[in-house]
């Protein structure tokens, strides 16, 4: 049997941790969503956009082959760690964005871990209509644990788990109803993500320079009328000097005479407009009253369709334009 990749079930954002016996809680890992498909003969890996990543993570393929199941579909996050042992989105992007010629070098230099939290199919049976509690029980039975493959534990006390991840400067938690089904391609309140810090994927519409090199990005998201709305300027984060040099080269290729934003950003001078093709993941503390990001930091450039970078309702209610 040859599996066709599916779109994973997604949590919705929430500010309050749901409590009570109907809920369980798991760490939210700051990585790349990855579904693993094993038909008993081969293993293939696909991300949430259904792009294949099998050659990117050969150590995961070999470990999943060791499962005692004749066939399975796993759902989880592939992560890499920073020097302090914390999940780093920047590090995992170095692996995920490699070209075929760079796979071997990246595999040797950046160690990854597959944090598995769900089982959708096993031994010829679909489990997506089964309650989460049943899927987790069967996942523990069939998951091939190794140095690279890990089961994501569940906890009854969401408040205590959130306090723990906050203390460790991790991303947040996901709260799930015990009886929740896995809605392929869907999203609803049966799964809720509660984050220590917020993040989003934005479109780069312009850059500024210092001493001939890009030093900041002007970013935006599209509204429902497909206008690119400016949401802030970001120049800090995880990018290295080499990364900024690479951004400078890309910016030269994408330069435009036209402002892609709906209106002129405030308090920003001497910018170079870009064709809005680059996308970047940014973390931030909160939305300001005028509709921009407070204390944004660059996490990594990502492979996302710019037109899918949509403002969430209510996030940009202010007016940050002249």
Q: Where are the domains of the chain?
A: 10-195, 198-308
How far is the C-alpha of 232 from the C-alpha of 252, rounded, in Å? Answer: 21
Please name which of 41, 39, 51, 43 lies closest in space to residue 5, comparing C-alpha atoms.
Answer: 51
How far is the C-alpha of 141 from the C-alpha of 116, rounded, in Å? Answer: 13
Alpha helix (H) ranges present in 40-169?
Answer: 58-64, 89-96, 103-109, 132-142, 158-167
Task: Tokens for 283, please give them.
Answer: 């973390």
Residue 30: what pLDDT? 87
DSSP 3-state assignment of 204?
strand
How far is the C-alpha of 65 from the C-alpha of 94, rounded, in Å? Answer: 25
DSSP 3-state assignment of 299?
strand
Residue 236: what pLDDT? 86
- Report the 10 Å Cβ neighbour count for 19: 13
**Which secondary-structure segment (H or E) carries 230?**
strand 228-234
Task: Tokens for 12, please give them.
Answer: 């919705």
How far is the C-alpha of 158 from the C-alpha of 10, rounded, in Å? Answer: 19
Residue 321: what pLDDT? 34
Same fold, 10-195 and 198-308: no
Is residue 80 a contact partner of residue 110, using CB atoms and an 8 Å limit?
yes
Note down pLDDT in tens along the chain; length 322 residues: 688 999 999 999 998 999 999 999 999 998 999 999 999 889 999 999 899 999 999 999 999 999 999 999 999 999 999 888 889 888 898 899 888 888 888 888 899 999 999 999 999 999 999 999 999 999 999 999 999 999 999 999 999 999 999 998 888 999 999 999 999 999 999 999 999 888 999 999 999 999 999 999 999 999 999 999 999 999 988 888 999 999 999 999 999 999 999 988 877 778 999 999 999 999 998 888 788 998 899 999 998 999 999 998 655 544 443 3
Task: Tokens for 144, please give them.
Answer: 């091939």
**Which secondary-structure segment (H or E) carries 23?**
strand 23-28
Contacts of 221 (CB under 8 A, 6+ apart): 200, 202, 203, 228, 229, 231, 309, 310, 311, 316
Catalytically active residues are: 28
How far is the C-alpha of 120 from the C-alpha of 139, rounded, in Å? Answer: 9
Look up tokens 């917020």; give the residue.
Answer: 198
What CATH code is assigned to 10-195? Answer: 3.30.470.30
Please name which of 89, 220, 78 lies closest in space to residue 149, comparing C-alpha atoms.
Answer: 78
pTM exceeds 0.75, yes or no: yes
Is residue 193 a contact partner of residue 158, using CB atoms and an 8 Å limit?
no
Residue 315: what pLDDT? 58
Architecture of domain 198-308: Beta Barrel (2.40)
């Amino acid at each position: 049997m040859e599996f066709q990749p599916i779109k994973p079930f997604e949590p919705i954002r929430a500010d309050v941790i749901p409590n009570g016996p109907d809920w369980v809680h798991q760490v939210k890992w700051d990585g790349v969503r990855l579904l693993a498909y094993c038909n008993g003969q081969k293993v293939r890996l696909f991300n949430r956009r259904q792009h294949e990543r099998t050659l990117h993570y050969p150590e995961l393929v070999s470990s999943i082959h060791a499962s005692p199941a004749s066939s399975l579909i796993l759902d989880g996050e592939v992560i890499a760690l920073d020097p302090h042992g914390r999940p780093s989105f920047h590090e995992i992007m170095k692996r995920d964005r490699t070209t075929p010629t760079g796979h071997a070098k990246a595999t040797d230099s950046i160690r990854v871990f597959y944090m598995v939290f769900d089982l959708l199919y096993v031994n010829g049976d679909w489990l997506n209509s089964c309650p989460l509690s049943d899927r987790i029980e069967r996942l523990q039975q069939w998951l091939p644990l190794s140095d690279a493959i890990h089961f994501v534990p569940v906890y009854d006390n969401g408040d205590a788990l959130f306090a723990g991840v906050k203390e460790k400067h991790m991303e947040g938690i996901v709260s799930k109803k015990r009886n929740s089904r896995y809605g392929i391609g869907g999203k609803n309140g049966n799964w809720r993500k509660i984050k220590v810090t917020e993040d989003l994927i934005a479109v780069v519409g312009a850059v500024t320079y210092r001493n001939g090199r890009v030093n900041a990005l002007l970013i935006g998201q599209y509204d429902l009328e497909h206008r690119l709305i400016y949401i802030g300027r970001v120049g800090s984060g995880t990018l290295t000097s080499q990364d900024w040099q690479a951004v400078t080269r890309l910016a030269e290729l994408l330069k435009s005479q036209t402002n892609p934003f709906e209106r002129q950003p405030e308090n920003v001078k001497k910018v170079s407009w870009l064709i809005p093709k680059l996308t970047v993941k940014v973390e931030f503390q909160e939305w300001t009253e005028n509709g921009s990001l407070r204390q944004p930091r660059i996490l990594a450039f990502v492979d996302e369709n710019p037109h899918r970078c949509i403002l969430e309702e209510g996030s940009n209610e202010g007016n940050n334009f002249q």
